[in-house]
Chains A and B, each alone.
Chain A
Amino acid sequence: MGRLVAGELIKVRTTRTALGFGAASLLLVVAGVTITILAGHPDTIDDKRSALNFGDAISLVVLLFGAVGATGEFRHRTLAPAVLIAPDRLRLLVARIGAYALTGAALAAVMALVTFAIGIPLLAGESGPDLAGGDYAKLVAGGLLVSALAVAIGVAFGTLVRNQVFAVIGVLVWITILEPLVGLIKDRLLDYTLGSALTGVAEGGSDRLSFGGAIVVLLAWTVVMLAAAAIVDGRRDVE
C-alpha cells in the first residue's frame, strides 16, 4: 500500500493541478483573514475564531481539487497503466484517496501557518478577549481534518462521476444549491449536510453541531462516499 501511495503522491505533485488549487487556497485564505479582520473588526471570541477559520475557507477548493484529480485519471486515460501495476482496484482507490488526503492535510498546514502569520498580529490590535490556546488547536485540527476528508470525498465523487466538467459542476450544485434546499424540507436536516459538517469541523464546532458531532457527520459522509466509489469503480471496466 505504501508503494501505491508513494506513486500516487508523485502523480499529485508533478502536474500543475495541485499548484493551481494551492494558489487558489492561498488567495482565499489571505483575502479572507485580511478583509475579515480589517473590515469587520472582530471583538468576540466567536468572531475572532471565525476570522482565522482557514479550513472553512478552503473546504470547497479542496473538494474540487479531489474531484478534478480523480476525473483527470479518466480524462487523460492514465488509469490503465496504474491498474496494470496494481490490479486490485480497491487498493488502488484507497491509495489514491490516501495520497490526496495527505496532500490536503499538507495544504491545510501551510494555510494554517499563513493564516496565523497574518491574522494573529492583526487581531492583536483589535479589542475584546483574546483567543485561548485551545481555540487555536481546534482551528488547526479542524482545518487539517476538513481538508483531508474534503479532498477524499472529492476523489470519491470524481471517481463516481468520471467526467471532469460534470464533476466540478456537480460539486458546486451539491454544496451551493441542493444542500441549502434541504433546509426547506426540514431545518434539522441541514445539520447533517456535507456543507454543515465541513463548516462545523473547520470552526471547531458551531451553533448547529458540536465539534465532535460535526466530525462524526463528516466521517459518515466520507465513509459513504468512499464505499460508493469503491463499489462502482470495482464493477467498471478500465477505459
Chain B
Amino acid sequence: MAGATAIEAAGLTKRYADVTAVDDLTFAVREGSVTGFLGPNGAGKTTTLRMVLGLARPTTGTATIEGRRYVELDDPARTVGANLEVAGAHPGRSGRNHLRALAAMAGLPRSRVDEVLRLVELDAAADRRAGKYSLGMRQRLGLAATLLGDPRVLVLDEPANGLDPQGIRWLRDFLRGMAAEGRTVLVSSHVLAEVAQTVDDVVVIHHGRLVQQGPVQALTSAGVLVRSPRANELRTALYNEGLTAAETPDGALVVEGADAARVGEVAFAAGVPLHELSPRATSLEEAFLALTSDPDPAAPAAEKAPPWAGWSPES
C-alpha cells in the first residue's frame, strides 16, 4: 500500500540527567521508501533509532512500526531488521555461528543463515571468528543478521561505515534492491553524497530536533533561475503573485517557492520576455550544512534564509 506510514515517531523525547538527546521529535517514514536519517554527530540519530526499536525508553512520546510499538510486534524478526552496532557479534564466535544463534532464537531454519551469508557476500569468511573481520566485513555480518527474518522494514545505523568504494556501491544497490522489493528502509548516514544517490526522502535532525523532512528533491531545490531583459517588470509581476525573487550578481533572478512552469506563466501573463528559465538545485551536502550549521539549539537552522532572499519592491 503505497504512501502508508511504516515508521512513525510522535513527540519523541529522551533525556539523560540534564542532557536532552532527543527533543520532541516527530517524523514519519513512508512504506516502500528509502529514507535517509541525517544529522551531525551527536544530533540524536542513534538514540532516536534505539527508541524506535524499543532498545531505549522514550522519556516522553511514542514510536511505532506498522502502527505498533516494537515490543508489541508479533514477530519482530520478520517485521523489522535492524543493525545499530557494527555486527554486535562476540569476537570469539564465527560469523556463521553468530547468525545461527540469532536464527535459532527467531525460529528460522539453519538454511536461512547460508542464504543471507551469500546475499551479503560473506560466505567465504563465514567460519572465521568475527574478531578477525575487517570493519567492512563486520558491517556485512550486521546486514546479514538484519536480513535473517526477511523483514518488511529495515533500520540501519551508518551502514556505510568502514566500507570501501566497492562496498559502498554494493550497499547502494542493496538498499535500492530492498526498496524495489517494496521494503521500507530507514538509514542513518553521514556520507551525504552516498545518501543523495540512494534515498527518496530525508529526515534531518539537529540538536535532537527535526529541522527538515520530505523528498530529497525538496531539500536540494534552490528555486528557479529566470533571466529577462525587463527584470524589474518581472520582479513586480512575481511580487503581485505572492512570489519573492532575489537578484544574482549577473542580473538574473532566483525565485523561491515556485516551479519553472509557474514562473513562466507569470511572465507570460505580464508580457515579459524570458531569455532563460531553469530550475536550480543545490547539493545535498550544501543543503545539509545550511540546515545544521546553527550552533544555537534554540534557533533551528532551517529558518535561516539564503543571502539573496527577501527582495520585494518595497525593499
A78 touching B55, Cβ below 8 Å: no
Please measure, in the bound complex, the distance between the C-alpha atom of A81 and the C-alpha atom of B85, giving whole angstroms: 9
Binding site for B on A (CB under 8 A): 3-4, 6-8, 10-11, 14-17, 72, 76-78, 80-88, 237-238
Please measure, in the bound complex, the distance between the C-alpha atom of A17 and the C-alpha atom of B106, giving whole angstroms: 24
- Residues A87 and B101 in contact in the complex (CB < 8 Å), given A3-B106, A80-B55: no
* 18 further contact pairs, Cβ within 8 A, besides A7-B102, A87-B54: A4-B105, A6-B104, A7-B104, A8-B105, A10-B104, A15-B93, A17-B92, A76-B90, A78-B89, A80-B85, A80-B88, A81-B102, A82-B102, A85-B106, A85-B149, A87-B70, A87-B76, A88-B71
Please measure, in the bound complex, the distance between the C-alpha atom of A80 and the C-alpha atom of B81, giving whole angstroms: 12
Q: Please classify how large the interface on chain B is, using the bins under 10, 10 to 19, 20 to 34, 35 or more.
A: 20 to 34
Q: Is the interface of A mostly helix, strand, loop or mixed?
A: helix
Please measure, in the bound complex, the distance between the C-alpha atom of A6 and the C-alpha atom of B77, giving whole angstroms: 16
Indicate whether B82 reaches chain A with its CB closer than 8 angstroms: yes
A sample of 29 cross-chain residue pairs with beta-carbon separation below 8 angstroms, ordered by A number, consists of: A7-B104, A8-B101, A10-B101, A10-B104, A11-B90, A14-B101, A15-B92, A72-B90, A76-B88, A76-B89, A77-B88, A78-B88, A78-B89, A78-B90, A80-B55, A81-B88, A82-B102, A84-B53, A84-B76, A84-B80, A85-B76, A85-B77, A85-B149, A86-B76, A86-B105, A87-B73, A87-B76, A237-B56, A238-B56
What's the least CB distance linking A226 to chain B, in Å? 20
In the complex, what residues of B have CB within 8 A of residue A77's CB? 85, 88
Q: Which residue of B lies closest to A13 (CB)?
A: B97
In the complex, what residues of B have CB within 8 A of residue A72's CB? 90
Please measure, in the bound complex, the distance between the C-alpha atom of A73 and the C-alpha atom of B106, giving whole angstroms: 18
Please measure, in the bound complex, the distance between the C-alpha atom of A7 and the C-alpha atom of B98, giving whole angstroms: 9
Please measure, in the bound complex, the distance between the C-alpha atom of A144 and the C-alpha atom of B105, giving whole angstroms: 26
Q: Which residue of B lies closest to A95 (CB)?
A: B105
A84 touching B71, Cβ below 8 Å: no
Please measure, in the bound complex, the distance between the C-alpha atom of A80 and the C-alpha atom of B70, giving whole angstroms: 13
Please measure, in the bound complex, the distance between the C-alpha atom of A78 and the C-alpha atom of B104, giving whole angstroms: 15
- Residues A84 and B55 in contact in the complex (CB < 8 Å), given A6-B104, A10-B100: yes
Indicate whether B57 reaches chain A with its CB closer than 8 angstroms: yes
Please measure, in the bound complex, the distance between the C-alpha atom of A16 and the C-alpha atom of B106, giving whole angstroms: 24
- Residues A11 and B93 in contact in the complex (CB < 8 Å), given A84-B80, A85-B77, A87-B70: yes
In the complex, what residues of A have CB within 8 A of residue B106's CB? 3, 7, 85
Please measure, in the bound complex, the distance between the C-alpha atom of A10 and the C-alpha atom of B56, giving whole angstroms: 27
Q: Which of A8, A80, A82 has the most CB of B within 10 A?
A: A80
In the complex, what residues of B have CB within 8 A of residue A4's CB? 105
Binary contact readout B184-198 vs A (1 if CB under 8 angstroms, 0 otherwise) = 000000000000000
